[in-house]
């Protein structure tokens, strides 16, 4: 059965996934095609077309469409006979979720369901799916939870989600024990309070502080995570006084609306430095979520934790969770934001279709997220361009790249199928030596970035424990660069470019099986330098999505973002750069 699943968030991070039953064939984020960072204009036709192209399928082959009706244009919903004035007003709001539109116009939406009003036939026809294809509407937070839970071997696990809100919910918690999943908290209430809604969301609070410090919500929260290391949490007490954890583990706040919470955060941010404000929101996030998750762990006796939702892009928080007493493993789905809903929606449909025993028997531990398009065959043709030359060195591509990195050059890796999610994991990465801390400033200047955290390192499996103090609970998560850990003291001065102010780092552990070229470059670099780690940062300039195609890669090389590009077909540079370097 061919399944098309859409992570069509109305505001940000839309995506399309194509799968043959449980096997993901392709996953594409809209931003990679439109080149608009965080694009959330629904998983529109080009995104769907690209995912189907990668999967070798056509629209007519799709048997099931899985999507969230909470992010649909209002034109796909039937009229409301109970309030004509609201209907007329909402009819003017194209591209706005029906429930949100109702709230804005003062409608009491309690007791009504999306599924009862949504017209799937019209929506599917507009996409171009064949008649007879099945429509499945997934639940936002359950989709997040299942995206993490499916890719583990956990049999006594707490699945926990937290974000800025989805299906009118900010958190969810589920306990998997044996062959049963019990809902502890969450699910779609599908109700709104006229004139406003209570807000308990740490995700919205963190986004509010991001905006209060002059950054962009849903985009730059990671900057605050880095900035927090330079400040003191002077505002944390005042912020925390508005939140509490009730006995069953749920997060509650005393704000009557999001506007009230945002007003407080903006006022408080003006009373101290940006560093202190960032440290304060980081401490609030850690304290509240550690307390909430801790209650659920004690209630259930769970030993493993599966996490998803945008809040868990916070790698410092994830480390703290892994350090909780009794936790044996933490896994964060690498597409933890709303792009990951397409994956979770897929597995939610399969769960409904097959039931728990069959679903659980198909689970597997995630080894990689190379689910995007591969353009290796087209790269040599694109790079056969005026002013571009191939660099030949000993040891083939890996040996040449390692030698260039030893010399302090910046080398981009364009290799195989693109990663899914926000992290570059060796398919579209920029590599550099971690031996000189000044490379951070050099890279940031060339990429137009302003960052507070050092870049992330990648390390071979056999060297991970020598360089990092990595808890067993964090080891699987570290394959996807979703968690921090301590750098061992003897290595901090040897690889300063990847060490945070507190002595931690955000490593990626790699193996030959995951990405042979990526691993081989590092192995040869270690042989030349004695250093078992290299910098890995995403191959993109500031405010741009990660490089997707060979043409985009060529433009970045010509613009001087990097010195060289390494690919399966060879190592390339501009002729001017080669002459200047004497290569």
For residue 388, give its domain range: 371-581
> Is 378 part of any domain?
yes
- Cα separation values, 489 from 43, 459, 486, 495, 500, Å: 46, 17, 9, 11, 12
Contacts of 34 (CB under 8 A, 6+ apart): 41, 46
300 and 397 in a single domain? The answer is no
| Distance between CA atoms of residues 7 and 151, nearest Å | 18
Mean pLDDT of 342-364: 96
Mean pLDDT of 243-265: 94
Neighbours of 331 (CB within 10 A): 30
164 and 224 in a single domain? The answer is yes
Which of 75, 105, 139 is a domain's end point?
A: 139
* SS3 of 292-311: HHHHHHHHHCCCEEEEECHH
Check whether 91 has a pLDDT greater than 70: no
545 and 433 in a single domain? The answer is yes
pLDDT of residue 199: 86
457 and 414 in a single domain? The answer is yes
pLDDT of residue 194: 33
Check whether 82 has a pLDDT greater than 80: no
Which of 139, 159, 190 is a domain's end point?
A: 139
The CATH number for 381's domain is 3.90.870.20
38 and 88 in a single domain? The answer is yes
Contacts of 384 (CB under 8 A, 6+ apart): none
Which range is least confidently modeled, 89-93, 270-274, 453-457?
89-93
| Angle (deg, nearest 10), helices 396-406 and 516-529 | 50
Please, which residues bridge with residue 510 across strands? Answer: 460
101 and 190 in a single domain? The answer is no
62 and 169 in a single domain? The answer is no
Check whether 104 has a pLDDT greater than 50: no
Counted residue by residue, the chain has a size of 583
| Distance between CA atoms of residues 190 and 298, nearest Å | 30
User: What total of structural domains would you count in the chain?
Assistant: 3
pLDDT band at 112 (very low <50, low <70, confident <90, very high): very low
Check whether 291 has a pLDDT greater than 60: yes
Mean pLDDT of 441-459: 87
Element (DSSP H or E) covering residue 463? none
| Distance between CA atoms of residues 274 and 430, nearest Å | 29
Which of 88, 114, 139 is a domain's end point?
A: 139
The CATH number for 118's domain is 3.30.420
> Is 496 part of any domain?
yes
DSSP string over 354-419: H-HHHHHHT-------EEEEE-GGGHHHHH-STTEEEE--TTHHHHHHHHHHHTT--EEEE-SEEE
Q: Give the residue, 33 or 71, on which the prediction is more confident.
A: 33
Q: What is the pTM of this model?
A: 0.92
> Is 93 part of any domain?
yes
> Is 362 part of any domain?
no
113 and 19 in a single domain? The answer is yes
Check whether 72 has a pLDDT greater than 80: no
435 and 541 in a single domain? The answer is yes
> Is 366 part of any domain?
no
- Nearest CA to 4 out of 167, 166, 134 is that of 134
Tally of CA atoms within 13 A in the half-sphere of 528 that contains its CB: 23
pLDDT of residue 153: 86
287 and 392 in a single domain? The answer is no
Tally of CA atoms within 13 A in the half-sphere of 127 that contains its CB: 33
């Amino acid at each position: 059965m061919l399944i098309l699943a859409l992570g069509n968030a109305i505001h940000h991070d839309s995506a399309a996934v194509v799968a043959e039953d449980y096997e993901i064939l392709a996953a594409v984020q809209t931003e990679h095609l439109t080149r608009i960072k965080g694009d959330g204009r629904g998983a529109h036709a080009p995104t769907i077309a690209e995912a189907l192209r990668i999967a070798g399928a056509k629209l007519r082959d799709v048997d099931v469409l899985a999507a969230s009706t909470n992010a649909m244009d209002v034109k796909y919903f039937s009229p409301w006979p109970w309030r004509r004035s609201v209907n007329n007003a909402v009819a003017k709001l194209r591209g706005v979720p029906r429930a949100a539109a109702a709230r804005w116009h003062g409608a009491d939406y309690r007791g009504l369901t999306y599924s009862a009003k949504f017209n799937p036939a019209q929506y599917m026809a507009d996409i171009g799916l064949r008649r007879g294809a099945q429509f499945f509407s997934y639940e936002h937070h359950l989709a997040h939870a299942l995206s993490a839970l499916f890719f583990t071997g956990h049999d006594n696990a707490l699945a926990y989600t937290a974000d800025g809100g989805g299906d009118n919910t900010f958190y969810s918690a589920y306990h998997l024990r044996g062959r049963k999943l019990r809902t502890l908290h969450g699910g779609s209430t599908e109700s709104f309070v006229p004139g406003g809604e209570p807000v308990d969301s740490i995700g919205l609070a963190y986004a509010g502080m991001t905006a209060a410090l002059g950054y962009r919500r849903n985009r730059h929260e990671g900057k605050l995570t880095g900035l927090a290391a330079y400040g003191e949490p002077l505002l944390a007490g005042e912020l925390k006084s508005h939140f509490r954890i009730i006995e069953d583990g749920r997060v509650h706040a005393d704000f009557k609306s999001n506007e009230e919470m945002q007003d407080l955060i903006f006022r408080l941010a003006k009373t101290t430095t940006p560093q202190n404000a960032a440290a304060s929101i980081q401490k609030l996030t850690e304290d509240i979520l550690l307390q909430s998750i801790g209650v659920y762990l004690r209630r259930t006796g769970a030993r493993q934790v599966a996490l998803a939702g945008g809040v868990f892009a916070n790698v410092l928080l994830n480390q703290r969770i892994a350090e909780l007493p009794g936790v044996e493993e933490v896994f964060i789905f690498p597409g933890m934001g709303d792009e990951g809903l397409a994956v979770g929606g897929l597995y939610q449909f399969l769960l409904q279709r097959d039931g728990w025993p069959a679903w659980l028997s198909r689970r597997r531990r995630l080894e990689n997220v190379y689910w995007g398009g591969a353009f290796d065959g087209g790269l040599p043709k694109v790079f056969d361009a005026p002013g571009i030359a191939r660099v030949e060195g000993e040891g083939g591509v890996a040996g040449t790249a390692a030698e260039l990195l030893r010399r302090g050059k910046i080398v981009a890796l364009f290799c195989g199928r693109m990663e899914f999610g926000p992290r570059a994991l060796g398919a579209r990465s920029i590599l550099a030596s971690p031996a000189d801390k000044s490379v951070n400033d050099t890279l940031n200047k060339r990429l137009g970035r302003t960052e507070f955290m050092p870049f992330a390192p990648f390390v071979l499996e056999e060297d991970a424990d020598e360089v990092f103090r990595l808890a067993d609970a964090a080891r699987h998560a570290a394959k996807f660069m979703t968690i921090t850990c301590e750098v061992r003291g003897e290595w901090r001065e040897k690889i300063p470019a990847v060490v945070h102010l507190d002595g931690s780092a955000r490593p990626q552990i790699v193996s030959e099986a995951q990405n042979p070229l990526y691993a081989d470059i590092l192995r040869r670099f270690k042989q030349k330098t004695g250093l078992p780690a290299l910098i890995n940062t995403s191959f993109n300039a500031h405010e741009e999505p990660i490089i997707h195609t060979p043409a985009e890669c060529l433009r970045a090389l010509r613009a001087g973002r990097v010195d060289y590009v390494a690919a399966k077909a060879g190592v390339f540079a501009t002729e001017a750069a080669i002459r200047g370097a004497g290569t």
